[in-house]
Amino acid sequence: SVVKKVADFELPYVSLQSMKELHCKLGIRKWYMDPSLDKLLMDCRASLDLIYMQAIQEVKRNWVKPTEGQMQELKFLQKNTNKEKFLELIQEIQFYGYVQLDPCICDYPEEGCSADIYVGNNEINCCIKLPTNQTKEVSFKINRLRSWQVTFLGATKDGEEDTLEFRFEYNDSGTWQWIILYTKQAFLLSSCLKKIISEQMMKAAKEGQE
Give the chain's domain count: 2
- Residues 148 and 179 placed together within one structural domain of the fold: yes
Distances in Å between the Cα of 8 and the Cα atoms of 15, 25, 99, 196 are 12, 17, 19, 18
Residue 93 confidence (pLDDT) = 97
Say yes or no: 147 and 113 in one domain: yes
Is the same domain home to 150 and 83?
no
- Half-sphere exposure for 56 (CA within 13 Å, toward CB): 16
Q: Do 202 and 106 fall within a single domain?
A: yes
Residue 1 — pLDDT band, cuts 50, 70, 90?
confident
Residues spanned by the domain of 18: 12-90
Q: Which of 90, 120, 154 is the last residue of a domain?
A: 90
The one-letter amino acid at 32: Y
**C-alpha of 83 from chain center:** 23
Let me know whether 109 and 203 are in one domain: yes
Considering the domain boundaries, does residue 6 fall inside one? no
Residues 82 and 158 reside in one and the same domain: no
In a shared domain, residues 56 and 138: no
Residue 2 lies in a domain: no
Q: Measuring CA to CA, how many Å separate 192 from each of 30, 97, 145, 158, 185? A: 12, 12, 14, 30, 11
List pLDDT tens digits, range 3-27.
888 888 888 888 888 876 677 888 8
Q: Could you give the angle at the alpha carbon of 11 between the alpha carbons of 8 and 17, nearest 5°?
A: 135
Closest Cα partner for 110 from 183, 188, 164, 177? Answer: 177
- Domain termination residue (choose one: 44, 59, 90): 90
> What's residue 199's pLDDT?
95
- Of 90, 111, 138, the last residue of a domain is 90
Residues 48 and 107 in one domain: no
Q: Is residue 5 part of a domain?
A: no
Q: Same domain for 76 and 158?
A: no
Report the CATH number at residue 175.
Answer: 2.30.29.30
pTM of the model: 0.87
Distance, in Å, from the CA atom of 204 to the CA atom of 207, rounded to the nearest integer, reads: 5
Q: Does residue 141 belong to any structural domain of this protein?
A: yes
41 lies in the same domain as 115: no
Bridge partner residues of 113 (DSSP): 106
List, for residues 27-77, the tens digit of each pLDDT value.
Answer: 888 999 999 999 999 999 999 999 999 999 999 999 999 999 999 999 999
136 belongs to a structural domain = yes
Residues 62 and 141 in one domain: no
Q: Are residues 202 and 122 in the same domain?
A: yes
